[in-house]
Amino acid sequence: QATVTHAMLPAVFDPFHLPKFSMAYSTKPQERARAKERCMGGKATLYTGMKILVFIGILVILALLAVLYLKFKKAMFVMMVPAGVSLLTIAGMITQRPGFIWPIIAVSCFHMLLSIYFLVIFSFYFIFKPFYIIMVLNWAFNTLHNDKTASYYIQCAGIFSGLIVFLLFNLWQASVSHAYHRSIIRSKRAEDHRGSAPTILVVNNKPMEYASTQY
């Protein structure tokens, strides 16, 4: 009597025990596609990130308007530019028009260049000409210091920290806005692709393709 061993049996396809490389290969494109639609380390969608940016921008605009109203009312018209950018961004999010997202990207890039410029200038004066910084701080805080003090270093550290935070925030704002801009373009292209898909008719069991533009 012949004995049938396990090696002699034909291989059976088991869908629940696929090779690891095939599963990784099939899921990577989907993971990359999902990653393009998210921000903040994948914790939020790009749309949510844009809403957070708009909310922060509106709060900053209101705070600056309050300060200018109390200190320098004639300069309040300057806030028309960031207010207009915020309105265009909101309009772009509602209408899904990518052109309305460009202003916030441009403003973010401008703010990054501005913060880098101020960091370089402030670093130069901090290292080589600290007396000028002391003069400005005396004027700003109504003091009469003639030399470097503990408050001088604390205030300079605060200025450095503020400029770096401002730079990093605008870098994040530009990256999220640009990713959202690309997301709108991808969604519109997908809609156009679905709308221009060929129509397949079956005549006498023979499929025939006709372009949808012919109808």
- Express each pLDDT in 163-201 by its tens digit: 999 999 999 999 999 999 999 999 888 877 776 655 555
For residues 102-107, average pLDDT: 96
Rg of the chain over CA atoms, in angstroms?
Answer: 30
Q: Pick the residue with more confidence: 78 or 173?
A: 173
Mean pLDDT, the chain, whole residue set = 82
- Residue 46: what pLDDT? 92
- Residue 129: what pLDDT? 92
- Residue 33: what pLDDT? 67
Q: What is the pTM of this model?
A: 0.73
For residue 201, the cross-strand partners are 208
Q: Pick the residue with more confidence: 68 or 31?
A: 68
For residues 53-66, average pLDDT: 94
Q: Pick the residue with more confidence: 40 or 4?
A: 40
Task: Give residues with Cβ within 8 angstroms of 159, minimum separation 6.
Answer: 122
39: left (phi over 0), alpha (psi -120 to 50) or beta: beta
Is residue 3 scored above 60 in pLDDT?
no
Least confident of 28-32, 37-41, 145-149: 28-32
Is residue 60 scored above 60 in pLDDT?
yes
Helix, strand or coil for residue 16? coil
Where do we find the tokens 């209408």?
95
- Express each pLDDT in 113-160 by its tens digit: 999 999 999 999 999 999 999 999 999 888 888 888 999 999 999 999
Q: Pick the residue with more confidence: 51 or 14?
A: 51
